[in-house]
Amino acid sequence: MEMGYTDLVSYLSDSSKGFSSGHSRTTFQWGGTLCALLLLILNRTRERRSSLQTTLIVFYLLTSLPNGLFNIFRGGFGYWVSFLAIAAHLFFPTIIPVSRFILFVITPDYVAKGLRETSAGSIFCLIIGILLVLTTFKGGRELDFCENRCHCFCYVCCLALLLLFTILLWN
């Protein structure tokens, strides 16, 4: 079967569209999740921890977590993690914030699937990314007081990658 130039171009453009949308969603899920987890660790290990940034990152994870991991956290494993988080919160209320752990389990299905499977989720993630940038650079003084330059550099790079993966989702 011979394929002409126009047939080849239309075939490649059709197949690349299908591949691009699935590929960009997977890239967003894994890349965004890894960057968000790294941001969460960096946020909790710095001197001035921000509970607002931690909450925003957890909301981003709720929306961007890969489907397999999301289903695990929504299942029996998530119930046990939530139970242990609540039990730990009884003994260490300032260290263990329970609401962030149980968010994955108690979020209603229509809200979780609506945020994860529609374009509203990508807009939500973009708003969260912008809010993270704004809270990081509020007043422009936060980086001046940063004693560990490597920590600040990694934090800013993860923020940039988080926004990049969210923007790539719209391609």
**pLDDT at residue 166, as a whole number:** 83
Q: What is this structure's pTM?
A: 0.75
Question: What is the Cα–Cα distance from 54 to 42, expressed in whole angstroms?
Answer: 10
The amino acid sitting at 98 is V
Q: Quick one: pLDDT band at residue 92, thresholds 50, 70, 90?
A: confident
Nearest to 116 by CA among 67, 171, 43, 170: 67
What's the mean pLDDT when you consider all of the chain? 76
Question: What is the Cα–Cα distance from 105 to 111, expressed in whole angstroms?
Answer: 12
Question: What is the Cα–Cα distance from 166 to 142, expressed in whole angstroms?
Answer: 25
Write down the domain spans for the chain.
Answer: 23-168
**pLDDT at residue 23, as a whole number:** 67
Question: Among 101-110, 115-124, 132-141, which is the least confidently predicted range?
Answer: 132-141
**pLDDT at residue 13, as a whole number:** 44
Percent of the chain predicted with pLDDT > 90: 2
Percent of the chain predicted with pLDDT > 70: 75
Interval 104-108 mean pLDDT: 79
Provide the phi-psi class of 65: left if phi over 0, else alpha when psi is between -120 and 50, else beta: beta
Phi, psi of 154, deg, nearest 5: -65, -40
Interval 138-155 mean pLDDT: 65
